[in-house]
Amino acid sequence: MHTDFTKQYINGSWVSGSSSKTIENTNPYNGESLGTIASADANDLDRAYQSASDYQKTWDAHSPAEKQQYIHRLYDVMQNQKETIVEWLIKESGSSRLKAETEFNTASNIVFESTSFPNRIHGSTAPSNTPGKENYTFRSGKGVIGVIGPWNFPFHLAMRTIAPAVAAGNTVVVKPASDTPVTSGLLIAALFEEAGFPAGVIHVTAGRGSEIGDAFVTHEVPALLSFTGSTEVGTHIAELAAKNLKETALELGGNNAMVVLNDAEVKKAAKAAVFGSFLHQGQICLALNRVIIHDDIYDEFVEEFTRVAKTLKAGDPSDENVIVGPIINEEQVNNIEKLVQGTIDAGAKLQTEFEINGQVIPPVVLSEVTNDMPAAKDEVFGPVATLIRASSEDEAIRIANDSPYGLSGSVFTQDRYRGMQAARRINSGMVHVNDQSVNDEAHLPFGGEKQSGIGRFNGEWVLDEFTTEQWISVQAQDRPYPL
């Protein structure tokens, strides 16, 4: 498999980017250089989009069985290259081994699910009110899909779009995240190449957002832009796309809440909440930002949650015992520090030490938080848990909904029916009863409400996103016109 990840992948060839600018790829834990990439410029981007457009109809015309064979080979190549993928996730995105293997398995599941998609693209027939007319609908690939990759779950969240889009008959152009250009794009291109995909199916243009970001969205070729990332950037992409009448699939920010009802088993709820708060340093769109606990069990929960959080080892993600690795970059570290300090200044109680060791921040637990404090109001995207007191179930749900975001959530209770009813009242695209918020299954709809995004990924829902329908009518007998 190709291993030199300092070049672009355009139309089946590894080529140097044409820009004078570079992307310095570094390990967020120790600053080690992982390679210098000559950035793509607007000309490289244009070649990638044109090549993808030129080949898309040919790719869509492949039989379902042929597409399936390619995707099966991709799945097999991924299994053979598992350790390479995991190692890149550890050193490039700061993933612990637990998180990296979880990410690999989730990505594998979506690729495996995608093998079924070529046979799930169905048309239909329908009656007509016009005598002698036969109506048909045909579903086909939408065209070229532009994919803007994220840096937090870079491999899975890029593959979550790429594999289904290709399976549905589209070709793709990927702009990987500058913090993780390998795991959110270039490594994926190498896997597709190893699996034998035709040259025009996938293209990867690694470039600075300041140089090709807007052009990636406004280029005339892509029919749909898929982005996973912040609401701020997603809003900008949506504005640019709307001006050019392009569709978007956006999975954006989250300020996810777990509601712990007064009958919950405290130890089970606290353990789940620690996992949901601190996996991958909290740098997950699905991570718990707020834990809202009924007043009857609040003190007991705070004590147990803090105890468990303090057992998590922070440091070098290549150490198999480490759960909390480094923050992706210094800018994120500074933002986390500002939010935590602002919340303490507003009256929250710090239950742990607040340390910053390079780009590593051990778990931070804040109690007596209110929903208007900085670390509860904003998405922290770091290893920080805010514990909020609620006097009743109604107040807890009101607090959970008092956010512009609505991606994922959680409810803990011993009464499962009560939990389901409470979950239905939370304005969020996904809610999990007696589990934490970080869940993703390849056959179930993934997406949010409000400012957490537009559209749904996975299963039949992503097929709806990445295909288009055409109505064809056939007049089987002469139609009289009143002329």
Q: Longest Cα pair distance anywhere in the chain, in angstroms?
A: 85
Q: Are strands 224-228 and 144-148 parallel, antiparallel or unpaired?
A: parallel
Residue 4 near residue 14, CB atoms below 8 Å: yes
Of 153, 3, 96, the closest CA to residue 326 belongs to 96
Q: 2-7 long-range contacts, Cβ below 8 Å, gap at least 24?
A: 2/189, 2/190, 2/193, 2/194, 3/190, 5/35, 5/37, 5/181, 5/182, 5/186, 5/187, 5/190, 6/35, 6/36, 6/37, 6/38, 7/37, 7/38, 7/186
Q: What one-character DSSP code corresponds to residue 182?
A: I
Q: Residue 37 belongs to what H/E stretch? A: strand 33-38
Using DSSP, how many helices (H) and how many strands (E) does the chain show?
Answer: 15, 22
Rg (CA), the chain: 24
Choosing from 92, 103, 113, 251, the catalytic residue is: 251
Q: Which amino acid is at 225?
A: L
Q: Report the alpha-carbon distance of residue 174 to residue 206 in Å, rounded.
A: 8
Q: Encoding tokens for residue 367?
A: 């109690």
Going 373 to 379 to 384 to 386, the CA torsion angle's sign is positive
Q: Residue 48 belongs to what H/E stretch? A: helix 42-60
Q: Residue 129 belongs to what H/E stretch? A: none
Residue 396 near residue 431, CB atoms below 8 Å: no
Strand order in the sheet with 288-294: 349-350, 364-369, 384-390, 288-294, 256-260, 409-412, 432-433
H-assigned helices in 195-265: 214-218, 231-243
Q: Catalytic site residue 251?
A: yes
To the nearest 10 degrees (0 to 180), the angle between helices 154-167 and 64-80 is 160
Q: Encoding tokens for residue 48?
A: 């990638």
Q: Encoding tokens for residue 370?
A: 């209110």
Q: What is the DSSP string of 145-174?
A: EEEE--SSSHHHHHHHHHHHHHHTT-EEEE
Give catalytic residue positions: 251
